[in-house]
Amino acid sequence: MTSIPLLREREKQIHDKAGGAPFEMACDRHSLAGSVSQRACVFCGSRVVLYPIADALHLVHGPIGCAAYTWDIRGALSSGPQLHRMSFSTDLGEREVIFGGEKRLYKALTELIAAYRPKAAFVYSTCIVGIIGDDVAAVCRRVEKEQAIPVLPVHSEGFKGTKKDGYKAACDALFGLVGTGDTTDIAPVSINILGEFNIGGEAWLIRRYYEQMGVQVVSVLTGDGRVDDVRRAHGATLNVVQCSGAMTFLAEQMQARFGIPYIRASYFGLEDTAKALYDVAAHFSDHPDVRARTETLVREAVAAVMPELRRIRAVLEGKCAAVYVGGAFKVFSLIKALRLIGMRVVLAGSQTGNADDYAHMRALCDPDTVILDDANPLELSRFVVEKGADLFIGGVKERPIAYKLGLGFCDHNHERKTPLAGFEGMRNFAREVHLSVTSPVWEIVKQSSFKC
């Protein structure tokens, strides 16, 4: 089915529809040892979810690396406090590994809270903490009592599962805050936006849509986040959850304890953005004015971007794209968004999709699309070449691979610098794709050798 060597164990994580094999994706499993997977760890998942809460203290309990590598690398913008952009680490040494790091953690927390007076503190456990057996929760409880602010342990030891388990650990920590704030001024038509991290200012766009619809946004979890907003999130009447499930865990917990229903949403592409807004309007169907305002908003916003999208489509028509990103939900949206600008997806994959996700992905894709779970660079590069892609959509580690192959690239991960969500985001996305795919540099690549 393919010309690259594959591990037998990985065969079921790759589906080449042209091969006509029955579709049965093995996914949701731990990466094989020895793989050059593009995935990360539990700690990474927790950090992604909680990092945007800008007025909280984020203390990484472990050796220096985990704090150093996550120091301000995600463009999760804050309109106010910038405390989340500092890097705080207990910087554990040999001594603590032998004698335990609880004392050091206590001291660090106490010093930091005295210095910064944050609204809350998150303490991330790293691999080593799980091994040396520090009772982080106990230290947190003690400091919480002494300092009178919430101090929340995040059980994010790197080896205890996948990035998804890190999302869950983060949601558990957040759930410790939800329900502790005042909800008196919250309207009946109100939501929380979950799983939106305000990369490039996307949360601001989405919030504005809802406000235009007459829907109060109680909190965005966690983009441009504030501790007080999280604390009163249980006052909203609906949770709107974006992404493949980084924050579904929290939505489920809130449903169980506070009876708040949740719906899923994606804000990538015109179609999915409109659907998300209409779904929310439908939830508030006893407020017909919301629906009316939504219709106006969508009509005007789509009309504003369509002329440019049509122009771009004329250029990109028939070009091919490869999409390999973290979550499967984003892949669905991107397939549709790319279709809108005339592009065909020839490779689709994710780091963390589950069986349902891949079934849905298969249904969305063209017959000859290759579908990959937890792929490695060899697989990605070979399939991209075999399938003749013109564009690669991925994250930081995929960008130089795409460029080496002479493909256009769009970062749809934390290094995007303009909002790609919402209606305006679709226009930005199309512009970026257009710019990259039609760059003269790819012509130069083809003639770069003097031999011809």
Partner 1 sequence: MLLRHTTADIKERKALTVNPAKTCQPIGAMYAALGIHGCLPHSHGSQGCYAYHRSTLTRHYKEPVMAATSAFTEGASVFGGQANLLQAIDNIFTVYEPEVIAVHTTCLSETIGDDIPQIVNKAKADGRIPEGKYVFHANTPSYVGSHVTGFASMTKAMVDYFAESGPRSRTINLIPGFVEPADMTEIRRLATEMGISAILFPDTARVLNGPLTGKYRMFPEGGVTIDQLRQSGASVGSIALGALASAPAGLAMDAKCKVPCAVLNLPIGLHDTDLFVDTLRRMAGVNVPETIDLERGQLVDAISDWHPYLYGKRVGLVGDPDQLLALSRFLTALDMRPVYLVTGSPAGKKFEEQLRETLADAGDDLRIAVPGDMFLFHQWIKERSVDLLMGNTYLKYIARDEDIPFVRCGFPILDRMGHSYFPTVGYRGALRLLEKMLDAVLDRKERDSSDIEFELVL
Between 44 and 171, CB nearer to partner 1: 44
Q: Is 94 in the site for partner 1 (CB under 8 A)?
A: yes
Applying CB under 8 A, the site for partner 1 has a residue count of 82
Member of 67, 151, 250, 312 binding partner 1 (CB under 8 A): 67
- Cα angle for residues 251, 252, 258 (degrees, 5° grid): 80
Q: Is 53 in the site for partner 1 (CB under 8 A)?
A: no
Q: Is 181 in the site for partner 1 (CB under 8 A)?
A: no
Between 105 and 194, CB nearer to partner 1: 105
Binding positions for partner 1, 99-128, rule CB under 8 A: 103-108, 111-112, 115-116, 126-128
The type of residue at 186 is I
Q: Is 187 in the site for partner 1 (CB under 8 A)?
A: no
Binding positions for partner 1, 319-378, rule CB under 8 A: 376-378
Quick one: which segment of 90-98, 268-276, 326-334, 418-426 binds partner 1 (CB under 8 A)?
90-98
Binding positions for partner 1, 11-50, rule CB under 8 A: 30-44
Q: Is 396 in the site for partner 1 (CB under 8 A)?
A: yes
Binding positions for partner 1, 300-319, rule CB under 8 A: none
Quick one: which segment of 59-67, 232-240, 297-305, 316-324 binds partner 1 (CB under 8 A)?
59-67
CB contact at 8 A, 46 and 61: no
CB of 113 to partner 1, least distance (A): 11
Member of 1, 21, 65, 356 binding partner 1 (CB under 8 A): 65
Angstrom distance (rounded) from CA 429 to CA 393: 11
